[in-house]
């Protein structure tokens, strides 16, 4: 199934209804609207959080004019019909100031997902969210795949898909391309593998 055919499926509800539902959800529940479906974002475990903090520190040290915003709600997908909360959204400082719960993805340089140990991570993180970020034109998507022990870097979004993909095992030096321009020494990620 191509990204465009997935996005043509009838959504479970209008995006406005999703936003109202998400607004009324308890603070302990994080909802997303991915590919027309209501999704509950899993609660991260300690290793997941440690990986996000490791990446946040790398970004701050190398690009202090940028911030890695954890869990920032973004408007994604074709026609801006998706609502996603990436584990990290790299953007210039104050990019989301003045925006509500769901900010436009304009200006986001990179989104990051760290896979969870749940049954939906394959479809959600490796396919649906990836395609939604590409459709929104986000230049770089970094998937930290804990199951495979590797980082997957997607770049060059065109017509709803990333045209370039590189894979790097934990321990490699990973140079994230422009406009991100950050080099990751990934040996530390081995400490977060169970």
Distance between CA atoms of residues 124 and 119, nearest Å: 9
- Any idea what the Cα angle at residue 175 is, between residues 172 and 180, rounded to 5°? 145
Residue 119 has pLDDT above 90, yes or no: no
Summarize the confidence of residues 52-74 as an average pLDDT: 96
- Any idea what the Cα angle at residue 124 is, between residues 189 and 107, rounded to 5°? 75
Lowest mean pLDDT among 119-123, 125-129, 136-140: 119-123
Please give the pLDDT value at position 43: 65
pLDDT in tens, 161-191: 999 999 999 999 999 999 999 999 999 999 9
- 16: three-class secondary structure by DSSP: helix
Report whether 145 contacts 117 (CB < 8 A): no
Distance between CA atoms of residues 108 and 31, nearest Å: 21
Summarize the confidence of residues 87-113 as an average pLDDT: 94
Q: What is the mean pLDDT of the chain?
A: 86
- DSSP element (H, E) containing 144: strand 140-145
CATH number of the domain to which 70 belongs: 3.90.1570.10
SS3 string, 29-77, reads CCEEEECCEEEECCCCCHHHHHHHHHHHHHHHHHCCCEEEECCCCEEEC
Does this model's pTM top 0.85? My answer is no
- DSSP element (H, E) containing 150: strand 150-158
Please give the pLDDT value at position 41: 66
Please give the pLDDT value at position 55: 97
Residue 7 has pLDDT above 50, yes or no: no
Which domain covers residue 22, as residue numbers?
A: 3-192
Domain count, the chain: 1
Lowest mean pLDDT among 22-36, 57-71, 138-152: 22-36
């Amino acid at each position: 199934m191509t990204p465009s055919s997935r996005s043509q499926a009838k959504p479970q509800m209008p995006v406005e209804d999703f936003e109202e539902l998400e607004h009324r959800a308890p603070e302990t529940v994080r909802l997303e609207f991915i590919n027309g479906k209501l999704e509950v974002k899993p609660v991260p475990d300690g290793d997941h959080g440690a990986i996000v903090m490791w990446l946040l520190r790398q970004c701050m040290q190398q690009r202090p004019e940028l911030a890695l915003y954890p869990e920032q709600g973004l408007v994604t997908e074709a026609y801006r019909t998706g609502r996603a909360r990436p584990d990290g959204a790299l953007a210039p400082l104050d990019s989301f100031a003045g925006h509500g719960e769901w900010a436009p993805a304009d200006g986001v340089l990179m989104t990051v997902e760290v896979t969870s140990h749940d049954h939906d991570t394959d479809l959600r993180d490796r396919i649906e969210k990836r395609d939604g970020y590409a459709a929104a034109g986000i230049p770089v998507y970094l998937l930290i795949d804990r199951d495979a022990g590797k980082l997957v870097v997607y770049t060059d979004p065109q017509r709803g898909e990333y045209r370039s993909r590189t894979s790097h095992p934990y321990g490699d030096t990973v140079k994230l391309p422009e406009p991100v321009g950050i080099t990751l020494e990934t040996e530390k990620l081995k400490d977060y593998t169970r």
